[in-house]
Amino acid sequence: MNSPSRLKLTLVIASVILCWAYSPIGVHMGLRSYSPGQLALLRFLIASVFMGGVALVLDIGRPRLRDVPWLLVLGFFGVFLHHTCLNYGQQWVTAAASSVLAQSAPLFSVLIAFFCLRERVSVWRWSCVLLGLLGVLVVIWGEQGVGDIDPRGLVILLAAVSWSVYFAVQKHYAHRYSPLTLACYMVWSGTLMLCVNLPGLPAAVAQAPWPENLAVLVLGIFPSALAYLAWAYVLKHVEVSRASVAMYLIPPVAMAMAAILLGEHVAGQVMLGAMIVLASVAAISLEGRWRRGSVAHAERAQPMTVEVLGDKGVAKVQDGR
C-alpha cells in the first residue's frame, strides 16, 4: 500500500483538529434545547447510523465473544460516561474552558497508572501532573474566580478521568482490532447505554429550533464519526506519539471558534491556564520520546557480536561502533 503524501496527511490531521475543536461549540448550542443526556444520545445516534454505513462499505471484522464485555467497558468510559459528564459540566463552563479541561486527560492517565496499575512514575511525570493541575486551577480561576467556582462545572474533569480510563483499557485491545473496528464498536456500545435518555427525546427534537438541530447534526457526523474515521487513517501512517502532538492545537482552535461562533470572551487567565495545561501534557509525551531516543542511542553504541561460521568452526567478531 502506497503511503499518502505529507500534504494529504496534514490536511486529514487539520480536519480532525477542526472537528474536535467544534465539539464544545456544538455541545454549547445543543444544550439550549436538549438536556445533557438527550444531547449525548442524539449525537451518537447520528454517529452510529453514519458509522454503520461505513462499516457496511468497508466490511469491518466481528468481535470475539470473549471481548464483548470489554468492548462494552470501552463504550461506557469512552462514550457514555465521558460525554454525559462533558455535557453536564458545560452547562456551567464556557466552550473555551471546557476544551482546555477536557484535554487534561493525560494528566489523569499518569495518576491511574500509579494508583490503579501500580506502574512506576518518574519524578518528571509527577512534576508534569502537578504543573498541569495548577494550570487547571488557573483556568477555573480565570473562568469564574476562586470564590465563585460552581462545583458542577468540575464534572468536566470527571469526563477527562473517564477518557483516561478508556485509553488504559483500549491498550489491551489495540492489537486485536483495527482502530476503525474498535471505534465502531465503542460508538455503538456507548450509544446503546445512552438509550436510557430516550424518553422525551422525539418531542425535544420536534420542538428544537433548526439552528440547534443543525448544530447537533454537525456534532454527530463530524466530531463523533468522521473525526474518528480520519484519526484511524492517520494512525495507520503516522506514529501515535507524533500524531498526538497535533491534539495540543485543539484548545486554541476551540477558543477561536467559540469567540467567532458564540461570541465568547476568553479571559487572559484562561489562556494562561491553557498554556500551562498543554505544556505539562506535552512534557509528559516528550519524556517518552527522550527515553526511546536514549535507548536507541545505547543500542547503537553497544558493541555488536556477530557469529561467523568458517571452515574451522565458529568465530565471534565484535563490531566496536
* Helix, strand, or coil (residue 313): strand
Asked whether residue 21 carries a pLDDT value surpassing 60, the answer given is: yes
CA-CA-CA-CA torsion sign (257, 260, 261, 262) = positive
What are the residue ranges of helices labelled H in the chain?
6-30, 36-58, 68-75, 82-89, 95-102, 105-115, 123-144, 155-170, 179-194, 201-207, 210-221, 227-237, 240-243, 250-261, 268-301
**Cell numbers representing residue 232 in the block:** 484511524
Bridge partner list, 313: 310
Q: What integer pLDDT is reported at residue 97 of this predicted model?
A: 84
Give the span between the Cα atoms of 196 and 44, in whole angstroms.
Answer: 13
Residue type, 241: S
Average pLDDT over residues 109-124: 75
* Helix, strand, or coil (residue 239): coil
pLDDT, the chain, mean:
81
Cα-Cα-Cα-Cα torsion 214, 96, 262, 156, nearest 10 degrees, comes to 50
Report the range of poorest mean pLDDT among 11-20, 21-30, 54-63, 138-147.
Answer: 138-147
Average pLDDT over residues 127-153: 72
Q: State which of 119-128, 143-152, 204-213 shows the largest mean pLDDT.
A: 204-213
Asked whether residue 298 carries a pLDDT value surpassing 50, the answer given is: no
Output the CA–CA distances (angstroms, integers) from residue 218 to 8, 10, 42, 228, in the order listed. 23, 22, 11, 14
Percent of the chain with pLDDT over 70: 83
Average pLDDT over residues 139-155: 66
Q: What is the per-residue pLDDT across 154-210, written as a single tens digit (0 to 9) for each?
A: 788 899 889 888 877 877 777 788 878 888 999 999 999 999 999 999 999 999 999
Q: What integer pLDDT is reported at residue 38 of this predicted model?
A: 97
Average pLDDT over residues 91-114: 80
Q: State which of 40-54, 57-71, 154-168, 303-317 shows the largest mean pLDDT.
A: 40-54
Q: What integer pLDDT is reported at residue 303 of this predicted model?
A: 46
Residue-wise burial string across 129-140, b where 16 or more C-beta atoms lie within 10 A, e elsewhere: bebbbebbebbb
Q: What are phi and psi of 308, to 5 degrees?
A: -115, 125
Query: Under a CB-based contact definition with an 8 Å cutoff, are residues 157 and 149 in contact?
Result: no
Q: What is the per-residue pLDDT across 61-100, written as a single tens digit (0 to 9) for each?
A: 888 899 999 999 999 999 999 999 999 999 888 888 888 8
CA angle 290, 292, 293 (to 5 degrees): 60
For 317, the enclosing helix (H) or strand (E) is strand 313-319
Asked whether residue 105 carries a pLDDT value surpassing 90, the answer given is: no
Q: How confident is the model at residue 245 (pLDDT cuts 50, 70, 90)?
A: low
Q: What integer pLDDT is reported at residue 307 of this predicted model?
A: 42
Q: How confident is the model at residue 309 (pLDDT cuts 50, 70, 90)?
A: very low
Q: What integer pLDDT is reported at residue 42 of this predicted model?
A: 97
Asked whether residue 147 carries a pLDDT value surpassing 70, the answer given is: no
Q: What integer pLDDT is reported at residue 27 of this predicted model?
A: 96
